[in-house]
Amino acid sequence: MKIKEIAEVLNAEVLTATDLEREVHTACGSDMMSDVLAYVKDQAVLVTGLNNPQVVRTASMMDMVCIVFVRGKKPDDSIIQLAQQLDIAILATDIPMFPACGILYAKGLRGGN
């Protein structure tokens, strides 16, 4: 699905001016960046409730293109700017982690390998 569709189905605010037409097929949900670094392979979207700059750094190292902050987490300007600079889309939704992942799964996103 497109990043813009993710924003729609999660009723998420888009916080970066990046390309929302980009197609993504895989995602992972985690609050532990250690695990993302150790287990993620080529997932494109990171769904997280952790709110600090290392979320963006981690996503960038893994070549991910979109971060969804769940359960009302609002990243601050420095985090948004970093993402913008690294060309990573930032979305923020009030929906908690489990239902957010469920919605994306139902819409066709998968965990990848």
Give the binding site for other proteins (CB under 8 A). Answer: 31-35, 37-38, 50, 52-55, 57-58, 60-63, 78, 86
- Beta carbon nearer to other proteins, 8 or 42: 42
- Beta carbon nearer to other proteins, 81 or 103: 81
Calpha distance 8→66 (Å, rounded): 14
102 is written with which tokens? 């469920």
Q: Please say whether the beta carbons of 64 and 48 come within 8 A.
A: no
- CB 42 → other proteins: shortest distance, Å? 9
Would you list the DSSP string of 31-50? S-HHHHHHH-SS--EEEES-
Short-list 48, 49, 59, CA closest to 18:
59
- CB 27 → other proteins: shortest distance, Å? 17
- CB 37 → other proteins: shortest distance, Å? 6
- Beta carbon nearer to other proteins, 55 or 92: 55
